[in-house]
């Protein structure tokens, strides 16, 4: 195809030819084109199908407000649905497909919906698909979902990177039209830190879309000259291709910069888009205005466009939508469209103006007081039917129509903090209200309702002066070119009387008839209207449609437009890609990964890792010939229990507590007492929430009179630290105590098993006596190992064996692990992972997160007597509530199968031997299960009502979901070494 609709002039680079594909067909355009302008130049009017009725649609606008020309851009993992062709920058090799049609854009099977439009009116979901009820989920919804919707997702991973960044400025200017550029010049010259963000790839706004905006210089020249000056200022950051999509609290704005959407693919190592968080002291909204359509019968055919958009295509992109074009308007502004086209040699058979007193235009006929009552052309406009002021009907042949019902200030960002627009009767449009603007926000130019170029330039410069003076920066308005200053001449006209299938909301297919139906059914409030008809609820948020629909409703109710309601907008201003919001936090980078110092060593051993919060922990260490994880785990347990094993416990939280009141502080955070713990000793501690529920446990080691080291579970390390700081700062402000997290400062290893002491004696420096007499169970101390390396040794045991935990500074963790393995060779030392750790703690009856599950108390855990009544502590008072201390309270017990061959299912519930299996007869539940290689049996921990007094009783362990039922016996939770002799050996 040729560029048959290409005109002279424009801001396109004719020396750079760009080839592209639309629906598989080859086209060409120029550098500076959008997909829409290039298609237009190639004579393509049909670009999409509408959402509900699958009506053929072409381009309506020249900007991000576009409701019709939505395409699927690119292919494979880079495919992007619902891209507005009007903002898709053309590049060589671009490929786009139309969407919401089958089998082709010209012949769309679902266009049959248009024939059934009577049936598919507003609210059709609620009315049509009510009965039978069961059909909704199974039949109606799937069918509707398949038929509706626009573009499709690729299903493949996006191969591109998205970045996030932070910017700070005195003044953020949103929109680089006349007002924004004048403001940027003014603020830039005053030395303020300025960010000028523009969603378009070319600065200038309407200045580059109009022919006569400035008096003595072309708009494009002044823009180029201004841009050059701004680009030379170190204090001004120009951000084209950047959409400021949201105004948030305290001057924070969200913006997306499209770094590489205009390229075939991002350069190596560069992001496709960047999500910016902009901290502004002041923000100036100069987002211009959006033209509104007029509602008349069949006003949605390809070729029917907004008049200002046609001017943008003619003047900026040097293309006309067709070779003959009619204008339909209620204002003078749209007459310029006819003049611009005539100047380029395009035929304009007539201007249809609703105003009886409309001015004349040289070169065409102005049909004054006339209206367009219908249009023809299935896949593109062929003619319009005009009703003249005398009541005659005239057919005008044309392939395009430029319509204008006036302009609405672009209010988007002014509404994001509940700002309510107010009606301005002079320009017949909503303008930003004084109240409710986001803090630090000012509006200028057309966005404020100053619709002439001169007012926009002056308003922008003055707004910058005002904004900066608030910040103590003196600025003077920049010298600005003389500009067009004709007052707005417009006579309100919203829809042609009698029109039914006259589109208001093009993207969601809402017509005048739908608004009438909403009114008829009493959905007259603007919020009801919106939800009943889906008006303004498409991805364009009704930028071109909301005010028109309000006007129709106002007429039906006999109220004024402001009485009927107003429209507000929410973030985002235009759709934001999920990829941009996610940034780099995708896949493996979704959260940070924390590795322990000996991670590399564990990898070398072939460890299988488990995610525990952000940490990776070795789960087990498979050896050659082991085909099932349980073989590895059984071996690790047996070898530890029979000789010695080593486990990396670095991930446990460690909090250093120091100060004269350190012991008193621990008394406050732990349920049990710590004041009398001697130096050189460790004690188990249980932490409660203030409501009396147990939430974490660990140990506290007293290294000195005023120095403790507290350990927490891996999962709760952050929470416990936060809560301890709360107690320190908010509840005990007069205590002399300081806290610091040392989790990352120390690498820590559990050395467990009957040979653990012998192993440690080989690496602990000889001057430290760790014999049972000198270093008994629950001892702790600061020592040196391997010839002078400082270390901490704790004789504590989670496995139930004779065991120690040894800590060294983080950077020695890897070395210590290797030293332990080497020294342990003669004892056949085994590294064990979290699974073996779990098996051994279940065999020993130690609680973890499964048991401390957010509903259980110290009493439930069998630790009721630990909650000291002689001192205050968090959770103390409320743990004594009556309801939490009943005789049949849940109690932590052990469970074993009556038939040793049975496996106990995790998560099952416990029922009496007879009676119904239901919640009312529930006796408790299983929290942890494991296969014990020592006992050669499946074992479990669980909670049983009044369980401490029910040892020996048999229950049914049931899992109705899987149809499982196992007979179990209640036993002590301490399956192994109940007297603790091994610990003290």
Residue 250 near other proteins by CB under 8 A: yes
Shortest spacing between CB 741 and other proteins, in angstroms: 9
Which of 729, 772, 903, 972 contacts other proteins by CB under 8 A? 729
**Cα 849 from Cα 866, distance rounded (Å):** 19
Our CB check for other proteins shows the closer of 397 and 570 to be 570
Name the packing angle between helices 453-470 and 178-189 (round to 10°).
40
Q: Is 249 in the site for other proteins (CB under 8 A)?
A: yes
How far apart are CB 733 and other proteins at their closest, in Å?
Answer: 4
201 or 248: CB nearest other proteins: 248
Judged by CB under 8 A, which stretch of 177-185, 379-387, 673-681, 875-883 contacts other proteins?
Answer: 875-883
What is the Cα–Cα distance from 11 to 318, expressed in whole angstroms? 8
730 lines the binding site for other proteins (CB under 8 A): yes
* Binding range to other proteins, per CB under 8 A, among 264-272, 872-880, 900-908, 970-978: 872-880
Rule CB under 8 A: is residue 830 a binding residue for other proteins?
no
439 binding other proteins? (CB under 8 A): yes
* Residue range at the interface with other proteins (CB under 8 A); choices 148-156, 401-409, 495-503, 874-882: 874-882
For other proteins, the closer CB: 166 or 392: 166
Interacting span for other proteins (CB under 8 A) from 249-257, 264-272, 698-706, 921-929:
249-257
Of 95, 90, 93, which is closest to residue 30 (Cα–Cα)? 90
Binding status of residue 590 toward other proteins by CB under 8 A: no
Nearest in space to 798 (alpha carbons), one of 862, 751, 764: 751
Asked if residue 109 binds other proteins (CB under 8 A), the reply is: no
| 741 DSSP 8-state letter | E
Q: Among residues 13, 603, 725, 828, which is the contact residue for other proteins, using CB under 8 A?
A: 725
Asked if 880 interacts with other proteins (CB under 8 A), we say yes
* Tokens standing for residue 680: 């050189």
Told to check if 623 binds other proteins by CB under 8 A, we report no
Segment interacting with other proteins (CB under 8 A) among 391-399, 655-663, 722-730, 799-807:
722-730
Assess 604 for contact with other proteins (CB under 8 A): no
Q: Decide whether 692 or 894 has the Cβ nearer to other proteins.
A: 692
The piece of 139-147, 370-378, 724-732, 859-867 that touches other proteins (CB under 8 A) is 724-732
Q: Residues 130, 148, 264, 731: which binds other proteins (CB under 8 A)?
A: 731
**Do residues 950 and 973 touch, judged by C-beta distance below 8 A?**
no
* The binder of other proteins chosen from 43, 246, 251, 266 (CB under 8 A): 251
What's the 3-state SS for 90-126? CCCCEEEEECCCCECCCCEHHHHHHHCCCCCCCCHHH
Residue located via tokens 């191969």: 159
- Answer for the pair 800, 843: CB distance below 8 angstroms, yes or no: yes
**Residue 667 beta carbon to other proteins: minimum distance, rounded to whole angstroms:** 12
**What residues form DSSP beta bridges with 945?**
890
876 binds other proteins (CB under 8 A): yes
Binding other proteins by CB under 8 A: which of 163, 626, 690, 969? 690
Structure tokens at 103: 């089998």
Based on the shown chain and the rule CB under 8 A, indicate whether residue 906 belongs to the binding site for other proteins: no
Q: Which of 133, 250 has the CB closer to other proteins?
A: 250
- Whether residue 77 contacts residue 189, with contact meaning beta carbons closer than 8 Å, is answered with no
Alpha-carbon span 802 to 754, nearest angstrom? 6
Q: How far apart are CA 151 and CA 148, in angstroms?
A: 10
722 belongs to the binding site for other proteins (CB under 8 A): yes
Q: Output the smallest distance, CB 562 to other proteins, in A.
A: 24
- In the complex, the smallest distance separating the C-beta of residue 721 from other proteins, rounded to whole angstroms, is 8
Beta bridge partners of 748: 807
Closest distance to other proteins from the beta carbon of 739 (Å)? 8
**Any contact of residue 733 with other proteins (CB under 8 A)?**
yes
- 377 φψ region: left (φ > 0), alpha (ψ -120 to 50), beta (else): left
Are 810 and 597 contacting, i.e. CB atoms less than 8 angstroms apart? yes
Pick from 18, 87, 252, 802 the residue near other proteins by CB under 8 A. 252
By DSSP bridging, strand 94-98 and strand 70-73 are: antiparallel
Token couple for 98: 């139309």
Query: Binding of other proteins at residue 611 (CB under 8 A)?
Result: no
The only residue of 718, 786, 821, 884 in contact with other proteins, by rule CB under 8 A:
718
Helices assigned H by DSSP within 253-334? 307-315
**Nearest residue (CB) to other proteins, 92 versus 690:** 690
User: Under the criterion CB under 8 A, does residue 883 sit at the interface with other proteins?
Assistant: no
Tell how many helices (H) and how many strands (E) occur in the chain.
Answer: 22, 47
Q: How many residues bind other proteins (CB under 8 A)?
A: 25
Q: What angle do CA 826, 829, 833 make, to 5 degrees?
A: 170
Instruction: Kindly state whether residue 736 participates in binding other proteins, applying the rule CB under 8 A.
Output: no
Q: How far is the CB of 723 from other proteins (least distance, A)?
A: 10
Going by C-alpha positions, the residue among 838, 823, 828 that lies closest to residue 639 is 828
CA proximity to 493, closest of 358, 294, 359:
294
Kindly tell me which of 725 and 918 has the beta carbon lying closer to other proteins: 725
872 belongs to the binding site for other proteins (CB under 8 A): yes
Q: Which is nearer to other proteins, 626 or 691 (CB)?
A: 691
Binding of other proteins by 570 (CB under 8 A): no
Question: Taking the complex as a whole, how short is the minimal distance between the CB of residue 167 and other proteins, in angstroms?
Answer: 13
Minimal CA–CA distance to 504: which of 525, 533, 526, 483?
533
- Options 279, 482, 903, 962; binder of other proteins; rule CB under 8 A: 279
Contact between 881 and other proteins per CB under 8 A: yes
457 sits in which H/E element: helix 453-470
Candidate ranges 48-56, 109-117, 729-737, 914-922; the one touching other proteins (CB under 8 A):
729-737
CB of 252 vs other proteins, minimal distance in Å:
7
Distance CA 305, CA 297 (A): 14
Strands 645-648 and 694-704: unpaired
Residue with tokens 């004709």: 486
Which residue from 334, 513, 443, 510 is spatially nearest to 430, judged by alpha carbons?
443
Q: For the residues of 480-528, what is the DSSP string, one character each?
A: ---B--PPP-B----B-TT-SS-EEETTTTEEHHHHHHHHHTT--SHHH
d(CA 939, CA 74): 57
Taking the least distance from each CB to other proteins, the nearer of 243 and 741 is 741
Stretch that binds other proteins, among 155-163, 460-468, 730-738, 896-904 (CB under 8 A): 730-738
Q: How far is the CB of 596 from other proteins (least distance, A)?
A: 22
Residue 781: Cβ within 10 Å count: 18
Per-residue x/- mask for other proteins, residues 68 to 97, rule CB under 8 A? ------------------------------
Question: What's the rounded Cα separation, in Å, for the pair 323 and 310?
Answer: 12
Distance CA 326, CA 322 (A): 10
- For the bound state, the minimum distance from the C-beta of residue 409 to other proteins, rounded and expressed in Å, comes to 24
Point out which span in 39-47, 366-374, 537-545, 877-885 binds other proteins (CB under 8 A): 877-885
Please report whether residue 434 would count as binding other proteins according to CB under 8 A. Answer: no
Q: How far is the CB of 746 from other proteins (least distance, A)?
A: 19
Alpha carbons 515 and 842: distance in angstroms, whole number: 67
CA distance 19 to 14: 13
| Locus of tokens 């120390």 | 746
The closest alpha carbon to 923, from 914, 934, 931, belongs to 914
Question: Which stretches of the chain bind other proteins, using CB under 8 A?
Answer: 248-252, 279, 417, 439, 690-691, 718, 722, 725-726, 729-731, 733-734, 872, 876-878, 880-881
């Amino acid at each position: 195809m040729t560029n048959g609709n290409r005109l002279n002039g424009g801001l396109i680079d004719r020396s750079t030819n760009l080839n592209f594909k639309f629906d598989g067909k080859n086209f060409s355009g120029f550098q500076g084109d959008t997909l829409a302008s290039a298609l237009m130049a190639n004579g393509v009017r049909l670009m999409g199908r509408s959402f509900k009725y699958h009506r053929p649609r072409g381009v309506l606008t020249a900007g991000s407000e576009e409701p019709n020309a939505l395409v699927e851009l690119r292919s494979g993992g880079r495919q992007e649905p619902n891209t507005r062709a009007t903002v898709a920058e053309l590049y060589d090799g671009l490929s786009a497909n139309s969407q919401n049609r089958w089998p082709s854009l010209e012949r769309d099977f679902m266009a049959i919906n248009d024939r059934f439009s009577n049936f598919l009116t507003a609210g059709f979901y609620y009315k049509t698909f009510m009965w039978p009820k069961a059909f909704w989920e199974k039949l109606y919804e799937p069918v509707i979902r398949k038929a509706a919707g626009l573009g499709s997702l690729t299903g493949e991973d996006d191969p591109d990177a998205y970045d996030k960044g932070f910017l700070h400025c005195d003044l953020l200017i949103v929109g680089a039209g006349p007002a924004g550029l004048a403001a940027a010049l003014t603020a830039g010259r005053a030395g303020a830190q300025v960010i000028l963000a523009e969603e378009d790839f070319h600065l200038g706004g309407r200045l580059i879309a109009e022919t006569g905006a400035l008096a003595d210089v072309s708009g494009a020249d002044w823009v180029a000259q201004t841009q050059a000056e701004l680009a030379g200022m170190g204090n001004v950051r120009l951000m084209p291709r950047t959409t400021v999509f949201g105004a948030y609290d305290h001057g924070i704005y969200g913006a997306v910069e499209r770094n590489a959407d205009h390229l075939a693919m991002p350069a190596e190592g560069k992001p496709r888009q960047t999500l910016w968080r902009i901290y502004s002291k002041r923000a100036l909204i100069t987002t211009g205005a959006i033209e509104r359509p007029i509602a008349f019968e069949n006003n949605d055919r390809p070729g029917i466009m907004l008049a200002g958009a046609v001017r943008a295509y003619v003047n900026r992109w040097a293309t006309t939508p067709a070779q003959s074009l009619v204008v339909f308007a209620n204002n003078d502004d749209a007459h310029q469209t006819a003049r611009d086209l005539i100047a380029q040699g395009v035929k304009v058979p007539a201007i249809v103006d609703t105003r009886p007193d409309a001015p004349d235009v040289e070169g065409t006929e102005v049909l004054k007081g006339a209206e367009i009552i219908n249009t023809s052309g299935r896949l593109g406009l062929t003619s319009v039917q005009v009703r003249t002021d005398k009541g005659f009907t005239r057919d005008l042949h044309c392939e395009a129509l430029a319509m204008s019902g006036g302009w609405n200030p672009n209010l988007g960002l002014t509404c994001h903090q509940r700002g309510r627009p107010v009606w301005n009767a002079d320009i017949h449009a909503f303008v930003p209200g004084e109240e409710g603007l986001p803090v630090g926000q000012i509006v200028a130019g057309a966005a404020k309702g100053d619709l002439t170029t001169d007012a926009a330039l002056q308003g922008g410069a003055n707004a910058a002066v005002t904004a900066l003076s608030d910040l103590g920066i003196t600025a003077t308005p920049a010298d600005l070119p003389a500009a067009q200053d004709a007052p707005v001449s417009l006579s309100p006209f919203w829809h042609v009387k009698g029109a039914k299938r006259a589109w208001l909301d093009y993207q969601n297919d809402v017509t005048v008839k739908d608004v009438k139906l909403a009114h008829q059914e009493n959905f007259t409030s603007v919020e009801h209207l919106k939800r009943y008809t889906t008006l303004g609820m498409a991805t364009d948020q009704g930028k071109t449609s909301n005010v028109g629909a309000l006007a129709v409703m106002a007429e039906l109710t006999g109220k004024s437009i402001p009485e009927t309601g107003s429209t507000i907008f929410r973030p985002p201003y235009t759709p934001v890609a999920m990829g941009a919001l996610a940034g780099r936090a995708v896949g493996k980078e979704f959260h940070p990964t924390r590795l322990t110092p000996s991670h590399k060593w564990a990898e070398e051993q072939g460890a299988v890792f488990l995610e525990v919060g952000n940490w990776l922990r070795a789960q087990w260490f498979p050896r050659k010939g082991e085909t099932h994880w349980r073989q590895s785990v059984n071996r690790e347990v047996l070898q530890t229990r029979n000789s010695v094993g080593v486990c990396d416990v670095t991930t446990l939280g460690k909090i250093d507590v120091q100060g004269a009141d350190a012991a008193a502080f621990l008394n406050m955070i732990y349920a049990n007492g710590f004041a009398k713990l001697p130096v050189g000793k460790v004690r188990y501690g249980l932490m409660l929430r203030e409501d009396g529920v147990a939430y974490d446990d660990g140990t506290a080691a007293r290294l000195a009179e005023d120095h403790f080291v507290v350990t927490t579970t891996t999962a709760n390390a952050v929470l416990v630290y936060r809560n301890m700081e709360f107690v320190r700062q908010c509840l005990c402000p007069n205590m002399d105590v300081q806290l610091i997290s040392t989790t990352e400062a120390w690498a820590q290893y559990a050395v467990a098993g009957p040979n653990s002491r012998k192993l440690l004696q080989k690496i602990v420096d000889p001057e430290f006596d760790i014999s049972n007499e000198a270093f008994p169970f629950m001892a702790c101390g600061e020592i040196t190992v391997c010839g002078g390396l400082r270390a901490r040794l704790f004789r504590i045991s989670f496995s139930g064996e004779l065991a120690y935990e040894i800590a060294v500074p983080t950077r020695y963790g890897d070395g210590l692990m290797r030293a332990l393995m080497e020294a342990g060779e003669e004892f056949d030392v085994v590294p064990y992972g979290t699974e073996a750790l779990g098996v051994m703690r279940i065999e020993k009856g130690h609680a973890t997160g499964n048991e401390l599950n957010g509903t259980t108390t110290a009493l439930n855990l069998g630790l009721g007597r630990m909650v000291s009544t002689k001192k205050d502590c968090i959770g103390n008072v409320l743990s004594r509530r009556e309801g939490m201390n009943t005789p049949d309270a849940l109690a932590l017990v052990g469970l074993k199968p009556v038939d040793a061959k049975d496996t106990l299912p995790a998560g099952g519930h416990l029922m009496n031997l007879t009676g119904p299996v239901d919640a009312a007869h529930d006796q408790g539940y299983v929290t942890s299960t494991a296969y014990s290689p020592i006992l050669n049996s499946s074992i479990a921990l669980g909670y049983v009502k009044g369980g401490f007094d029910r040892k020996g009783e048999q229950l049914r362990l049931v899992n109705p979901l899987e149809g499982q039922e196992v007979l179990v016996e209640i036993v002590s939770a301490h399956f192994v070494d109940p007297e603790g002799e091994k610990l003290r050996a």
